[in-house]
């Protein structure tokens, strides 16, 4: 939320969609709600229980409903990331996702772990096991870094200028 506010200093409201029956999504929305409160941003939560309901909700969004879309970590919603990014762009609604990969598909920004990096880490475990290392002797590892990706083409389409401070922080800038 902090990065979205840096990109859109006049951000007053952000909308998110998630399934209230998904405990992980509820926890993520709570964190996003708290971050929004600290930044004085109204966090509009739309509950959806199916892909169809999500799609109807995204299509029904109007420009005056929110200043941006903020993904708060729901797998079902994430499965529709391309649809959300495309629809939001046609509505001139900036999007912030929790994954960097969506940015190459047209989202404005994404901040989160790289699934490429997660796959690479998993592959090193497999390689070590296949080479004879006992799985019990392998240490538990996790991805320690998150990355930021920004799509300048989408920013231009939306009439936005990404602040230099955000660009300097970005791990990937899509031209």
CA distances for 173 relative to 2, 6, 47, 150, angstroms: 18, 16, 32, 5
pTM reported for the whole predicted model: 0.85
Confidence of residue 5 (pLDDT cuts 50, 70, 90): very high
Digit-coded pLDDT (tens) for 37-87: 999 999 999 999 999 999 999 999 998 899 999 998 889 999 999 999 999
Task: Write down the CATH number for the domain with range 2-113+146-174.
Answer: 3.40.50.2300
Per-residue pLDDT, averaged over 34-39, amounts to 97
Residue 80: its H or E element: none
What one-character-per-residue DSSP string does 143-160 give?
A: ----EEEEEHHHHHHHT-
Q: Check if the beta carbon of residue 26 is closer than 8 Å to that of residue 17.
A: no
pLDDT bin (cut points 50, 70, 90) of residue 150 is: very high
How much is the pLDDT for 131? 92
- The band of 138, judged by pLDDT with boundaries at 50, 70 and 90, is confident
C-alpha span between 152 and 7 (Å, rounded):
12
Q: What's the pLDDT score for residue 61?
A: 94
């Amino acid at each position: 939320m902090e990065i979205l506010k840096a990109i859109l200093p006049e951000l007053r409201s952000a909308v998110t969609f998630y399934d209230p029956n998904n405990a992980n999504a509820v926890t993520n929305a709570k964190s996003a709600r708290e971050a929004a409160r600290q930044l004085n941003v109204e966090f509009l939560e739309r509950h959806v229980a199916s892909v169809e309901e999500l799609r109807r909700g995204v299509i029904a969004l109007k420009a005056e409903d929110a200043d941006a879309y903020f993904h708060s970590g729901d797998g079902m919603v994430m499965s529709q990331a391309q649809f959300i990014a495309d629809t939001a762009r046609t509505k001139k609604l900036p999007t912030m996702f929790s994954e960097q990969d969506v940015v190459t598909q047209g989202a404005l920004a994404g901040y989160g772990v790289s699934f490429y990096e997660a796959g690479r880490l998993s592959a090193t475990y497999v390689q070590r096991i296949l080479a004879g290392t006992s799985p019990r002797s392998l240490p538990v590892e996790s991805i320690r870094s998150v990355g930021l990706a920004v799509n300048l083409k989408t920013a231009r389409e939306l009439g936005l200028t990404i602040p230099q401070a955000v660009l300097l922080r970005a791990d990937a800038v899509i031209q």
